[in-house]
């Protein structure tokens, strides 16, 4: 099938790779513009662009999708199907209606749950036992189009957003492959979403990563998992920022934020306690709490976050 692929981050890379391995003709790849990266702020290409260039595919990086330029390019490319995976831009109606088989999207949740920009992160933040991916026909609403296929997977009790992101990228690529084959054969289902069951998964903000020690330990454990690898949950230790990369629910009780065990860095929460397992002090590298405590003792009774 003649396809135009639209995607930007690492999540979309396995999907483009799979379409190429399946033998489809990828007429062009749309991705977000290059962005400054690192301390030198040098322009860096998105992961999808890097893969496209390795295969010699035409790459397009329009700033806008509604000024007619993208539509003109797509008319020249004449795709039978447009495949969208984490592109990061909304497609207008004239583009949605252009291809013979329409536009389809791979979404990182079991729709209609978690429509929006950060479905994988919110499934971890909310402590869901199961996550998944869905392929869908695109419509003008936010992730509201008819569903085609979905696949679920258990979410590990200690699994981070980043770890789930990587797994779902691979599961999604397989699901996308099956979806495109069904469309080509004229066998793809159209399953309307139940709008009443829809929930929203907005993009994460840095201020959401601040640890509120008055919350229950289980909820904070999910926060730390869900905010990893970005923006990373954090607190204050003796007035200085402390990132928490990994934690575990532990036994104990006391005033919220109080260090209960100075040897293992167990901290009291609103309900229960958390053991900080991997942390990162300001200006330092990520390390185990045990390694940190050997060089920076923290006395029992110290209150974090104050």
Whichever domain contains 189, its CATH number is 3.40.50.170
- Count: domains in the chain: 2
Within a domain: residue 16?
yes
What's the CA gap between 296 and 304, in Å, rounded? 15
Considering the domain architecture, whether residues 188 and 210 belong to the same structural domain is answered as: no
- The β-bridge relationship of strands 287-288 and 35-37 is unpaired
Residue 168: phi and psi, rounded to 5, are: -70, -30
With respect to residue 301, please indicate whether it lies within any of the assigned structural domains: no
* Domain end marker among 148, 172, 197: 197
Tell me, yes or no, whether 47 and 124 share the same domain: yes
Q: Which token pair is 233? A: 């949950």
Q: Is 300 contained in some domain?
A: no
Does 145 lie in the same domain as 277? Answer: no
**What is the mean pLDDT of the segment spanning 167-179?**
98
245/127 same-domain check: no
Residue 21 domain flag: yes
- pLDDT tens-digit profile of 253-271? 999 999 999 899 999 999 9
Write down which residue in 145, 169, 197 finishes a domain.
197
Same domain flag for 242 and 167: no
- Residue 304 located in a structural domain: no
Say if residue 168 is in the same domain as residue 30.
yes
Sign of CA dihedral 178, 184, 189, 195: positive
**Residues 28 and 152 occupy one common structural domain:** yes
**Residue 216, pLDDT score:** 98
Cα maximum dimension of the chain? 68
Q: 305, 211 in Cβ contact below 8 A?
A: yes
Q: 109 with 73, same domain? A: yes
Domain range for 290: 206-295
Would residue 59 count as lying in a domain?
Answer: yes
Q: What CATH number did the domain enclosing 231 receive?
A: 3.10.25.10
pTM (two decimals): 0.95
Q: What is the pLDDT of residues 40-99, one digit of tens each?
A: 888 999 999 999 999 999 999 999 999 999 999 999 999 999 999 999 999 999 999 999
Question: Final residue of a domain: which of 170, 197, 224?
Answer: 197
């Amino acid at each position: 099938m003649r396809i135009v692929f639209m995607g930007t981050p690492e999540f979309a890379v396995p999907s483009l790779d799979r379409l190429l391995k399946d033998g489809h003709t990828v007429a062009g790849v749309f991705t977000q513009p290059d962005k400054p990266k690192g301390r030198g702020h040098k322009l860096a290409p998105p992961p999808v662009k890097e893969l496209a260039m390795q295969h010699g595919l035409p790459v397009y990086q329009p700033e806008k999708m509604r000024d007619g330029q993208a539509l003109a390019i797509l008319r020249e490319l004449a795709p039978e199907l447009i495949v969208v995976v984490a592109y990061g831009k909304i497609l207008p109606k004239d583009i949605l209606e252009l291809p013979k088989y329409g536009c389809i999207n791979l979404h990182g949740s079991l729709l209609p749950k978690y429509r929006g920009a950060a479905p994988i992160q919110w499934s971890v933040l909310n402590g869901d036992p199961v996550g998944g991916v869905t392929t869908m026909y695109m419509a003008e609403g936010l992730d509201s189009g008819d569903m085609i296929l979905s696949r679920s997977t258990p979410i590990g009790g200690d699994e981070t957003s980043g770890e789930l992101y990587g797994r779902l990228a691979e599961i999604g690529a397989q699901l996308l492959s099956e979806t495109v084959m069904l469309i080509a054969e004229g066998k793809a289902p159209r399953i309307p979403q139940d709008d009443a069951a829809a929930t929203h998964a907005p993009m994460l903000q840095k201020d959401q990563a601040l640890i509120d020690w008055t919350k229950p330990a289980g909820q904070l454990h999910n926060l730390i998992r869900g905010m990893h690898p970005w923006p990373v949950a954090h607190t204050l230790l003796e007035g200085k920022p402390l990132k928490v990369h990994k934690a575990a629910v532990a036994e104990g009780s006391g005033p919220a934020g109080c260090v209960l065990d100075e040897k293992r860095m167990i901290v009291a929460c609103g309900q229960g306690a958390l053991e900080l397992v991997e942390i990162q002090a300001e200006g330092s590298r990520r390390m185990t709490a045990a390694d940190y405590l050997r060089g920076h003792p923290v006395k029992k009774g110290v209150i974090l976050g104050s």
